[in-house]
């Protein structure tokens, strides 16, 4: 679809990617995110299917091509297949992706595929069941890995694993992770732990810079892939002896925000201009009719206030208490 006047900000960045949270609720209790479990019990306030269609239609009219469904845990939504189908059916949307903790992967991945899901990222912080349980509070590792194998057989391209780097919990497992992707067409992305409103103490104990992994990869014959124009925030590394690849997401590195192409909407219909923004604005009232113009007007006006980057290095985490609020 040719968009005459796509959504840009005052730094000439174009926004073609929407990360849409479907619920804040989660059934895992990851040590870095919701160590005491989800405080969200009701899903009654979450965006409805009709509101999602209206929202995605307005974004697509402004040039959005890719939607990522996230959460909390998006697969807790009983209407997830309908949501995937609806997003995929909006003119201009050419990719629908999902970020999931994988607890329904083995059961549902085939139906997600049939509904039109193009790709997904699954969070796997350890390949050792005991450590996985310690980090996430879940005993589902084997089932998640079985779901991942199934997804490969179903022909999913661009399968990604997200692994949050944790100094004392999984940093010694690099060899296991490398062995895992040696024979699998998967990108395993190490994400540097981000400081959020709720995890300051945990962050100071567990944060590990991705630079140490980068050095090790380079010394062992891995090479950085040339970045494509639409590349995400990860630096990607490949090796001739490995089918899979490694990504490093280092939000504390210089220029991390310069290619930002994404906006976020929470499950309560709030627009976040940045993961670590101080403020967010609700646009729910604009989703009560089919006319996309008011939403388009709202988004163009809001984008004038998007800042050049986050201030994580100054310990400003904005109003984001944990990433389950908005989906990472
Ligand atoms: N529940 C789903 C999952 O875990 O994949 C989707 C939501 S989760 C908030 C999205 C991603 O954010 C996950 O890969 C998770 O590991 C990551 N994440 C959560 N808190 C984080 C933090 N403080 N620092 C870095 N990554 C974090
Ligand atoms: Fe839940 Fe995902 Fe947060 Fe883990 S990272 S607690 S799975 S929202």
Structure-model confidence comparison of residues 229 and 76, the more confident one = 76
CB atoms within 10 A of CB 12: 6
pLDDT of residue 235: 93
- Cβ of 33 less than 6 Å from ligand 2: yes
pLDDT in tens, 80-94: 999 999 999 999 999
- Position 185 scores a pLDDT of 95
User: In sequence order, what are the beta bridge partners of 188?
Assistant: 161, 246
Atom of ligand 1 minimally distant from the CA of 251:
25
For ligand 1, say whether the CB of 33 is within 6 Å of any of its atoms.
yes
Q: Share the mean pLDDT of the chain.
A: 93
Q: Which domains can be identified in the chain, with CATH numbers?
A: 17-168+262-325 (3.20.20.70)
Atom 10 (ligand 1) nearest CA: 328
Q: Are 126 and 132 in contact (CB under 8 A)?
A: yes
Measured in Å, residue 33 CA sits from the centre of ligand 1 at 7
Q: What is the model's pLDDT at position 312?
A: 65
User: For ligand 2, is residue 99 a contact (CB within 6 Å)?
Assistant: no
Give the pTM: 0.95
Alpha carbon distance, N-terminus to C-terminus of the chain: 28
13-17, 179-183, 220-224, 315-319: lowest mean pLDDT where?
315-319
Residue 282 has pLDDT above 80, yes or no: yes
Question: Helix 105-115 vs helix 80-88: angle between axes, to the nearest 10 degrees?
Answer: 30
Q: Could you tell me if residue 74 is left (phi over 0), alpha (psi between -120 and 50 degrees) or otherwise beta?
A: alpha
What average pLDDT does the segment 143-161 reach? Answer: 95
- Range scoring the smallest mean pLDDT among 69-73, 228-232, 317-321: 228-232
């Amino acid at each position: 679809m040719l968009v005459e006047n796509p959504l840009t900000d005052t730094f000439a960045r174009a926004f073609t990617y929407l990360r849409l949270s479907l619920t804040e609720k989660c059934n895992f209790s990851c040590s870095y995110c919701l160590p005491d479990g989800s405080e969200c019990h009701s899903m009654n306030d979450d965006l409805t299917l009709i509101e999602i269609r209206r929202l995605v239609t307005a974004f697509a009219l402004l040039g959005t091509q890719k939607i990522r469904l996230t959460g909390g845990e998006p697969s807790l939504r009983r209407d997830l297949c309908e949501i995937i189908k609806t997003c995929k059916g909006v003119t201009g949307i050419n990719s629908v992706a999902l970020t999931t903790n994988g607890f329904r992967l083995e059961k549902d991945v085939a139906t997600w595929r049939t509904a039109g899901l193009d790709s997904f990222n699954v969070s796997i912080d350890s390949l050792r069941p005991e450590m996985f349980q310690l980090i996430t509070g879940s005993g589902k590792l084997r089932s998640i890995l079985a779901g991942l194998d199934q997804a490969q057989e179903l022909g999913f391209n661009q399968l990604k694993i997200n692994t949050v780097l944790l100094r004392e919990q999984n940093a010694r497992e690099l060899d296991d992770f490398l062995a895992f992707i040696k024979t699998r067409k998967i990108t395993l992305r190490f994400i540097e732990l981000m400081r959020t409103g709720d995890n300051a103490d945990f962050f100071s104990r567990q944060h590990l810079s991705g630079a140490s992994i980068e050095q090790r990869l380079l010394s062992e014959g891995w090479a950085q892939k040339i970045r494509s124009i639409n590349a995400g925030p990860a630096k990607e590394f490949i090796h001739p002896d490995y089918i899979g690849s490694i990504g490093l997401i280092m939000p504390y590195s210089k220029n991390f925000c310069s290619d930002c192409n994404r906006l976020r909407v929470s499950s309560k219909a709030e627009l976040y201009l940045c993961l670590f923004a101080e403020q967010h604005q609700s646009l729910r009232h604009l989703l009560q009719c089919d006319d996309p113009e008011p939403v388009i007007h709202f988004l163009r006006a809001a984008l004038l206030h998007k800042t050049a980057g986050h201030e994580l290095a100054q310990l400003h985490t904005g109003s984001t208490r944990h990433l389950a609020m908005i989906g990472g």
